[in-house]
Amino acid sequence: MTTIASKGHRTWLLALIGIVLVAALLRGWAFLRLPLDYDEPVYLRAGFDYARALRAGDWNGVIDYAANREHPALVKLLYGLVLLVLGQGTTWAIGLYAARALSAVFGVLAVLVLALFNPLAGGLMAVHTIAIKYTGQAYLEALPHLASLGAELALVRSRPAEVGGELAEFDGQAWKVYDSWSGFSGSEPMTIARDAEGRLWVGTRSAGVDIHRAQQ
């Protein structure tokens, strides 16, 4: 049993490494080979402006940056920090590759997070062409993609969830489903909590409170 588990873990680890390598190679190819795209000059110019303001200690220029206000500032500010580290003589071409590289790092991390949760889903994300494009160029999508994906998966990992009128809980290895056969009313859950004895307390929309002891 231990040998089988060890082999399974090794297979999972090798698959994870392979998925991340594929994601990194494809995004590396994208940031090196894709032509300059529509909004990249806008975001890169903002990055250079942020770097210039930070270098000069012009915090008002950072906080009240007037250009491209319609797009969120966070990733453009991160591009500016990268350009600030690279130094004042950074050329446009080097700045573009640096910004694309940062975007690609966030894209690869998103694939890693998803693959840790589900290797098949991570593998599909690794080769998804739109994901490769927008996390391999100097766009704004890569960091929100990583953050939103991580938040969603963390929520799924940490809380029971309603699935088609049933209650499902992930215990770290598998999903356990509580349905009408196991005493769950099936009414829409509104609040869910587990007490010190391991019981699930489910406040439903129309059927009061369900109390359910987790299956052993």
Q: Distance between CA atoms of 116 and 146, rounded to whole angstroms?
A: 13
Tell which of 157, 186, 201 closes a domain.
157
Q: Same structural domain for residues 95 and 188?
A: no
The pLDDT tens digits for 29-81 are 999 999 999 999 999 999 999 999 999 999 999 999 999 889 999 999 999 99
pTM comes to 0.72
The pLDDT tens digits for 69-85 are 899 999 999 999 999 99
Q: Same structural domain for residues 33 and 101?
A: yes
Domain with 115 in it: 2-157
Q: Same structural domain for residues 146 and 165?
A: no
Q: Same structural domain for residues 8 and 108?
A: yes
Extract the tokens encoding 106. Answer: 């966030």
Q: Same structural domain for residues 185 and 116?
A: no
Q: Same structural domain for residues 102 and 203?
A: no
Q: Same structural domain for residues 172 and 82?
A: no
3-class DSSP state for residue 85?
Answer: helix
Q: Same structural domain for residues 61 and 164?
A: no
Q: In what order do the strands lie in the sheet with 175-178?
A: 161-163, 166-170, 175-178
Q: Same structural domain for residues 84 and 183?
A: no
3-class DSSP state for residue 164?
Answer: coil
Extract the tokens encoding 115. Answer: 């693959």
How many domains does the chain fold into?
Answer: 2
